[in-house]
Amino acid sequence: MPESPVPQPSPAAPPAGRIAQRFRELAASRELGLVVYVTAGDPSLDATRDIVEAAAKAGADVIELGVPFSDPLADGPAIQRASERALRAGTTLAGVIGLAARLRERTQVPLILFSYFNPILQMGLDKFAADAATAGVDGALATDLNPDEAEDYRTALRARGLDTIFLAAPTSTDARLERIAKSSSGFVYLVSRMGVTGAREALPEELPALAAHVRRFTPLPLAVGFGISQPAHMARIGAIADAAVVGSAVVQEIERAPTAAEAAANVARLVQALKGAARKSARRI
Amino acid sequence: MSTLARAMAESVPDARGRYGSYGGRYVPETLVAPLEELEHVWIEASADSGFQSELAVLLRDFAGRPTPLQFASRLSLHLGGPRIYLKREDLLHTGAHKINNCLGQGLLALRMGKRRVIAETGAGQHGVATAAVAARLGLACTVYMGTEDMERQRLNVFRMRLLGAEVIGVDAGSRTLKDAINEAMRDWVTNVRTSHYLLGSALGAHPYPQIVRDFQKVIGEEARQQILQKESRLPDHLFACVGGGSNAIGLFHAFLQDSSVKMVGVEAGGRGKTLGEHAARLAAARGFTGACPGVLQGAYTYVLQTADGQIASTHSVSAGLDYPAVGPEHAWLAEVGRAEYTAVADEEAIEAAKTLARIEGIIPALESAHAVAELIRRAPRMSPEEIVILNLSGRGDKDMETLARYA
């Protein structure tokens, strides 16, 4: 399908820090946040727009718009397949930014672009930051860009008021956690386990200790992702973090649905179930 | 140029793994600490005479070093140009230069207490070398290989399995080397505490391009000594094929400071000059399109890609050159003009393999045949006083089916 039109300026200037604002609200109501990942353009950008709108209405607190990449080396099979479908549909980074602009006409849910670094680099850091900000995007996370290589990227994004979210991992040393904390804004994304993305039955035993350790390095909200897929996971995440990220489980709902409309309905159902559990999960004190 | 050459040889990569602006460490956070550990262990091992002598014994007794520098008298006569010497890496155990790096990294894995190695392979030469070294050192071994490559290099799949390695076919993307690397990295990020990723070329995130180069630079160090013995002077030209670029950097490195020595890296020209038809990343001057600096699999370097930053598919008759990015040190050598990069087409490489077979009695790997083809192209314009060293990086046994198809 053809690319979406160039991003239109959002109708009203967005309030600064939608992500921070949402986490403040979550903290006030003592709720666990729910971050929902979808691969943009799977099966089409129009379908993604409907799916994201449905997810936001169903209770998603933050949306990660996945930018499909030809070589998603941090992703498991579900997101690999979604990326292939999205690329076959002609999805580009510019198209995803255009989608963000269209979403902004309908919802104020915080939007994060979740991409591998190369498409951002080819667009140009300044143009990426400018177009994303104009479209009403709130932040970005580049999977294969760690803080060591991210100086220019951070400068470009900061200049446009975009949050830079970085990953923290079970292997991150204390020195690295310090750097990650210093480089991040919005929230810190804690990778729950060694490995690639993908839904799993059980959460790692050592996750609470890991989250507590990472927490010592940053006052920012902590979102935990990789392998989180079920309402039953929410209570455990609620005890240790501010938000749970669910990606592959959402992407699989989209993959299984025979039509785009059903995909949106199924994702909404999953998000409702997850958010329902998240609301009951006592937030850490 | 000599000042520049000296500066380069001494200062690259810098502490952040940069060759000029190329290289670096573009990996997900989970892999940063393991790469830092690898770098640390490598620096220690480099200064450890025990490690070095253990490696030297394995290179001599297991791999068969030093390899000869053979005067190719009949090829020299046939081409009517320079005096041509072949660095016979094809004579090494498992049939290619790959074993130099595998032995070194295998010992590093042991030093880190990791009992399993993961590898990717394109032509299968790195996979076979890794499997052999793993068997020799008592390590478990898993090799990822694109299913298209498994088809065209069936013999090497059998070899790896015979050597006790688990070979896993990768059906994603173009089903070639790039996709095998993605899958190897997914395995590594999952098992990084127990497994070492034994990357086979001078590619990927820092410190891999440096480690692989340092384990391969023995090629050039030997060749330099050997040519000084035989000719009492340095060569005028070096030729090597460039996929990721490990055999080329292995030959070039010892000569970087010798400004009189010209270096030619030969990429895969495939079956056309438009994006998707070739694997020429640095040969834009020859009309090959689609390469520009970008990030793939850990490094900032020249990458064949679309305007949107998606990695392009590539084509080459030789699986070992069929890869969309080039090692970052080559990108740097090209940028500063220290080495020249060009490309030859599939057919020219096949013809060159046949020529070398008939005239010198050596069947080269199709990868190495690309370097031979470029030499055949240029030799008639060189004088008989000039001296060439060509790195014959591997032997062609694995390519019999492909060669038979073109017969």
- Tell me whether residues B31 and A171 touch, CB distance under 8 A: yes
B192 touches chain A (CB under 8 A): yes
Can you give the pLDDT at residue B6? 54
- Mean pLDDT, consecutive 10-residue segments, chain B of 407 residues? 54 90 97 96 97 98 98 97 97 98 98 97 94 98 94 90 98 89 95 96 97 98 98 98 98 97 98 96 94 97 98 94 97 97 98 98 98 98 98 95 87
| Interchain contact, B296 vs A168, CB within 8 Å | no
Where does the pLDDT of residue A31 fall: very low under 50, low under 70, confident under 90, or very high at 90 and above?
very high
Q: Examine the pLDDT at A283 and tell me if it is beyond 80.
A: no
Residue of B nearest to A174 (CA): B33
Measured distance CA(B309)–CA(A92) in Å, rounded = 9
Is residue B296 less than 8 Å (CB to CB) from chain A?
Answer: yes
Does B189 touch chain A if contact means CB atoms closer than 8 Å?
Answer: yes
Using CA atoms in the order A217, A218, A221, A225, what is the torsion angle rounded to 10 degrees? Answer: -40
Nearest to B14 by CA among B329, B374, B265: B329
| Residue in chain A lying closest to B296 (CA) | A118
- Residue A2 predicted with pLDDT over 50: no
Q: What is the pLDDT of residues B259-313, one digit of tens each?
A: 999 999 999 999 999 999 999 999 999 999 999 999 999 999 999 999 999 999 9
Q: Nearest by CB to A119, from B16, B36, B309: name it.
A: B309
Domain containing residue A253: CATH number: 3.20.20.70
Domains in chain A, number: 1
Mutate to test the interface with B, among A115, A118, A188, A217 (most CBs of B within 10 A): A118
The answer as to whether A196 is a domain residue is yes
Contacts of A94 in chain B (CB under 8 A): 308
- Measured between CB atoms, does A214 come within 8 Å of chain B? no
Is position A81 within any domain?
yes
Active site residue A75: yes
A146–B190 CB contact, under 8 Å:
no
Q: Which domain holds residue A114?
A: 26-280
Q: Is A144 on the interface with B (CB under 8 A)?
A: yes
User: Are A41 and A250 a contacting pair, CB within 8 Å?
Assistant: no
Beta bridge partners of A65: A38, A113
Of A75, A131, A138, A163, which is the active-site residue?
Answer: A75
Catalytic residue among A64, A131, A242, A253: A64
Whether A169 is in a domain gets the answer yes
Q: What is the mean pLDDT of residues A236-241?
A: 95
A69 touches chain B (CB under 8 A): yes
pLDDT tier at A4 (50, 70, 90 boundaries)? very low
Which pLDDT value is given to residue A282?
Answer: 61
pLDDT for the residue numbered B152: 79
Task: Please indicate, yes or no, if residue A9 is contained in any of the structural domains.
Answer: no
pLDDT at A5 over 70: no
Dihedral-angle region of residue A62 (phi above 0 means left; psi in -120 to 50 means alpha; beta otherwise):
beta
A196 at the B interface (CB within 8 A)? yes
Closest chain B residue by Cα to residue A80: B172
Whether A125 contacts chain B with CB within 8 A: no
Q: Mean pLDDT over residues A261-269, rounded? A: 97
Report in angstroms the alpha-carbon separations of B381 from A220, B234, B356, B378, B384.
66, 20, 19, 6, 10
Q: Is residue A18 part of a domain?
A: no
Separation between Cα atoms, residue B235 and residue B259, nearest integer Å: 11
Q: What is the DSSP string of B258-276?
A: -TT-EEEEEEEEET-SSTT
pLDDT for the residue B173: 82
Among this protein's residues, is A205 annotated catalytic? no
Nearest CA in chain A to B324: A71
Q: Side chain identity at B189, as an amino acid letter?
A: V
Check whether the bond before A119 is cis (ω within 30° of 0). no
Question: Could B30 and A170 be called an inter-chain contact, meaning their C-beta atoms sit closer than 8 Å?
Answer: yes
CB B84 within 8 A of CB B239: no
Which residue of B182, B192, B308 is in closest CB contact with A73? B182
Burial class of A204 by CB neighbour count within 10 A (0 to 12, 13 to 18, 19+): middle
Average pLDDT, stretch A129-144?
Answer: 98
Question: What is the interface size between A and B, counted as CB pairs within 8 Å?
Answer: 115
- How far off is chain B from A121, nearest CA to CA, in Å? 7
Note whether residue A11 is domain-resident: no
Tell me how close the Cα of B186 comes to any Cα of chain A, in angstroms.
6
- Residue showing tokens 């990294």: B105
CB–CB contact B310 A194 (8 Å): no
Which residue in B345, B344, B394, B347 sits closest to B368, CA to CA? Answer: B394
Q: Does B308 touch chain A (CB under 8 A)?
A: yes
- The answer to whether position A91 is within a domain reads yes
Q: For residue A45, give the nearest of A1, A82, A10 by alpha carbon.
A: A1
CA angle B321, B323, B327 (to 5 degrees): 90
Closest Cα of chain A to B164: distance in Å?
25
Name chain A contacts of B189, Cβ cutoff 8 Å.
74, 194-196
pLDDT band at A13 (very low <50, low <70, confident <90, very high): very low
Would you name the residues of B annotated as active-site residues?
A: 98, 120, 393
% of chain A residues with pLDDT over 90: 91
Tell whether A180 is within 8 A of chain B (Cβ): yes
Q: Is residue A170 part of a domain?
A: yes
What string of DSSP letters covers B290-354? -EEEEEETEEEEEEEB-TTSPBPP---SSGGG--SB--HHHHHHHHTTSSEEEEEEHHHHHHHHH
pLDDT score recorded for residue A12? 39
Q: The tokens of B353 are what?
A: 């393999």
- The SS3 of residue A7 is coil
CB contact under 8 A, B294 and A180: no
pTM of the model: 0.94
Q: Give the strands of the sheet with B195-197, arranged side by side.
A: B166-170, B140-146, B116-121, B195-197
- CA neighbours closer than 13 Å in the CB half-sphere of residue B276: 3
- How does residue A285 score in pLDDT terms, banded at 50, 70 and 90? very low
